[in-house]
Structure 1
């Protein structure tokens, strides 16, 4: 038992009306990478918040033993003092502070109450070198990408002399290259004796780095697997997560494709701050009724910028080109015009742009369609409740009540609320930007089924995704982007990971 670094026994945590953790047990060996798997809402993040002191001793029942000693953490500082550091899925960096200031925020290098900036900068350089980040310590966080921000978070953890590093969905917002770099960094830390817990929905990544896997379902421990001793397959992990075999990852598509419903011609967009920089360069695309069209590309290719600029010019400056809806030229000068003329956009950032987390499910669902609920200039509350309840049942949103706050739900259920909001607006064309980001395999299938059903109803779907298997599994046609240009268009039968990646890494336009 001497090689056990952490043991959590009988951990139970309740919220009003919900038992988030039910007698959960977890053992972590020294020097291993231990993966924590489960559907959204299974209790993974809650368990880690109990461990790190976010939920203090007394707010849960059960015992925590670290290095053989019982721990009763009252806050995060107490767990960090023992070397337990958690990096949450939502990065906790301050955009307009420098890398150095962020790394040592709350852990300032000071003497007699005065910050020693020479020491701060020197230590920051050493930490950045450790994580492989070639940036100046004085660079503002807002000026680096998400992948680099994730490395800054790890550098910040290392500055606290971390012994057990907890990463909650560390690659959810990263492209394949950044994800690969981060996983290799974890393996390097393991060689140096660090222990890590990684929460991830990406089973291929878990298979690459994990020594052990603990599966949670409905707040309970299902099983712990040893990657060397047990027969561990993706299918076994999925069955443990969802409680059943998931024979198909994607619904079987039987598309009935009709006439062209939406078209973008010669679309150009410039950066909102640096207006000499062209972000979208002569983009052309079309979508037909009943068709799911994908946009593939590496991070920074311009996919989201293209979608947002189309959706009521919500991104960019000096926007030029033509839009056609049902054969007629249209102008979307703001979001309201786009919605009123049959366009909807599901943002990749559901927590920032898709939902009002402090509001209830009912208000979030009806937010974009209040005009449908007005009776003599007043919102009909009974109609609003009935409408929200209809979508709760239709999209199988798991919640005790439509009066529950959106922020209390799992990622998959939050995404269903966002989809409900835009389906209620009755669009002809629905743009879906990373519709399954940070969602487990079981909930993904439910989202895919909703998308497929919308296409069967005759809507046109434009789907942006960083996951190539998702693009290939769902889309009837695929446009590929690189450096703001559309570099190719492939039919379902001609598209594969190799052909897509080839087009994703070239900036030359091909017919």
Structure 2
């Protein structure tokens, strides 16, 4: 092995049940002290490759060879890989919310004397590690009292406690806001300066271009190419990821906008735990048939709270205001009432609220409209299967059959199941909250096409997104929201990021 290589994976092939090849001869070389990004569509095999490397998928369950620091290795468990200095931080953080920061950092690696934990030493060492990652928190703080961004830093501190040589981060910024993401990327650069090698899996190409020294693209379980950062462009990465040129990130649509379909007037929502605080404050807006209306706002602006409160009062207390469907006032006091009125809400958190991850695709697609499949109170299972299978084909859900468990699908395919569920419910108004969060550029393009098709069918679409290019690229009109109030309305032809950000940062007194 070249002296400068810390890792070589050669011809890695991994199969799951039914002969499905998740990895098909993948090779990867990582140089010592670099940040190496791995990019690819959801389901391409990125996370599976890292699970092979870290021993989550043990030696013997795959074919191919792994060399670390010039020696062949065969990890039977994650403990084996950590003993060699390879630590993986998964997208779903593995922290106990009820334990302290210090307890989480040294869990399974306790600081003890004679079998008794030395708590003073534990907290002292934890404080040193927290300082290394730039986190100014008391080591005794409970994990549940920290935000996601700080929890991510605790995970990295935990990795540093294991004398990490190769740190693997799987979608580390997927759940973070821009500020926390920027801080994390700065930390990764700092660790690189300390000689720690990092592998980062990310679908955020802007972040990849900012932090990576080299980029490997995987598609359909195969290595497509590895490129140094100096030779990389976002267009080249996208072309390698999806196997085709994406001349525009947003498929074309000629708006065919009809009559007003949904109107909200003077909608006010109070915080469920603090009734004196207005989370949504006197909001009024409308959306027409065939129109895509975007809602842009910073974290905590009240976008999701507005959507959830409209959808059967799923959030908030002391809710007031009026809602109209096709000019007629409607009651939206329960989720069932909202669905019967013709509303659908695809939540921003598909794993917690949008899907039954241990259920199959069939059950998830039919969940919001079982009554349409029942006769005399009994669900017609054959018809249910046929409906789900038709959506599998229409939405291009990549699964061997609709009997596949939803939790085993990639993020993009899970999102298509969510959309299938709500489209099957027969809505006139669809509220899509962060519809492409955590999915790659290829899957995003497909989701955008589905949104366009729904608008062409005459549905009224409301899109909430934290990505301003997405809001601008999809929407016919955009509302900006700040501190629970609508601060601006911008037509498609006038929309740009600077204008929207001006409105999004506007305070209650009308100034940024």
TM-score (norm 1): 0.96
The 8 Å contact of residues 485 and 509 in structure 1, kept in 2 or not, is answered as no
The 8 Å contact of residues 268 and 283 in structure 1, kept in 2 or not, is answered as yes
Deviation at 1:201, TM superposition (A): 0.9
Q: Which position in structure 2 is the counterpart of 1:178?
A: 180
2:243 matched to 1:220? no
Deviation at 1:398, TM superposition (A): 1.2
Matched length: 509
Give matches, 1:81-480, under 5 Å: 81-228=83-230, 231-480=231-480
Change (3 A) 1:458 1:179: same
Cα separation, 2, equivalents of 1:503 and 1:281:
16
Deviation at 1:77, TM superposition (A): 1.2
Cα separation, 2, equivalents of 1:253 and 1:96:
49
Cα separation, 2, equivalents of 1:375 and 1:137:
58
Partner of 1:419: helix, strand, or coil? helix
Change (3 A) 1:98 1:327: farther
Cα separation, 1, equivalents of 2:443 and 2:421:
18
Change (3 A) 1:282 1:113: farther
Deviation at 1:410, TM superposition (A): 1.2
The 8 Å contact of residues 250 and 448 in structure 2, kept in 1 or not, is answered as yes
Cα separation, 2, equivalents of 1:62 and 1:327:
64
Change (3 A) 1:111 1:321: farther
Report the more deviating stretch, 234-243 or 143-152: 143-152
Q: Which position in structure 2 is the counterpart of 1:58?
A: 60
Report the more deviating stretch, 190-199 or 303-312: 303-312
Change (3 A) 1:164 1:119: same
Deviation at 1:510, TM superposition (A): 5.1
Deviation at 1:356, TM superposition (A): 1.0
Cα separation, 1, equivalents of 2:17 and 2:179:
41
Change (3 A) 1:117 1:331: farther
The 8 Å contact of residues 88 and 167 in structure 1, kept in 2 or not, is answered as yes
Change (3 A) 1:492 1:217: same
The 8 Å contact of residues 483 and 508 in structure 2, kept in 1 or not, is answered as no
Give matches, 1:8-23, under 5 Å: 8-17=9-18, 18-23=20-25
Partner of 2:423: helix, strand, or coil? helix
Cα separation, 1, equivalents of 2:118 and 2:487:
50
Partner of 1:267: helix, strand, or coil? strand
Cα separation, 1, equivalents of 2:504 and 2:113:
51
The 8 Å contact of residues 7 and 26 in structure 1, kept in 2 or not, is answered as yes
The 8 Å contact of residues 436 and 447 in structure 2, kept in 1 or not, is answered as yes
Cα separation, 1, equivalents of 2:23 and 2:462:
38
Q: Which position in structure 2 is the counterpart of 1:80?
A: 82
The 8 Å contact of residues 100 and 124 in structure 1, kept in 2 or not, is answered as yes
The 8 Å contact of residues 345 and 433 in structure 1, kept in 2 or not, is answered as yes
Report the more deviating stretch, 127-136 or 357-366: 127-136
Cα separation, 2, equivalents of 1:420 and 1:285:
26
> Alpha carbon RMSD of aligned pairs, Å?
1.6
The 8 Å contact of residues 100 and 120 in structure 1, kept in 2 or not, is answered as yes
Deviation at 1:509, TM superposition (A): 6.1
Change (3 A) 1:224 1:286: same
Change (3 A) 1:396 1:506: same
2:498 matched to 1:498? yes
Partner of 2:493: helix, strand, or coil? coil
Deviation at 1:332, TM superposition (A): 1.7
Deviation at 1:383, TM superposition (A): 0.7
The 8 Å contact of residues 263 and 287 in structure 2, kept in 1 or not, is answered as yes
Cα separation, 1, equivalents of 2:331 and 2:141:
39
Report the more deviating stretch, 482-491 or 72-81: 482-491
Unmatched tracts of structure 2, length 5 or more: none
Cα separation, 1, equivalents of 2:483 and 2:114:
50
Deviation at 1:9, TM superposition (A): 1.0
Report the more deviating stretch, 117-126 or 216-225: 117-126
Unmatched tracts of structure 1, length 5 or more: none
Which deviations, in whole Å up to 9, do the C-alpha atoms of 1:338-357 show, x marking residues without a partner? 11111111111111111111
The 8 Å contact of residues 131 and 154 in structure 1, kept in 2 or not, is answered as yes
The 8 Å contact of residues 486 and 509 in structure 1, kept in 2 or not, is answered as no
Report the more deviating stretch, 434-443 or 494-503: 494-503
The 8 Å contact of residues 165 and 196 in structure 1, kept in 2 or not, is answered as yes
Partner of 1:493: helix, strand, or coil? helix
Which deviations, in whole Å up to 9, do the C-alpha atoms of 1:243-287 show, x marking residues without a partner? 111112101131111222122222222222333333222222221
Change (3 A) 1:100 1:285: farther
Deviation at 1:448, TM superposition (A): 0.1
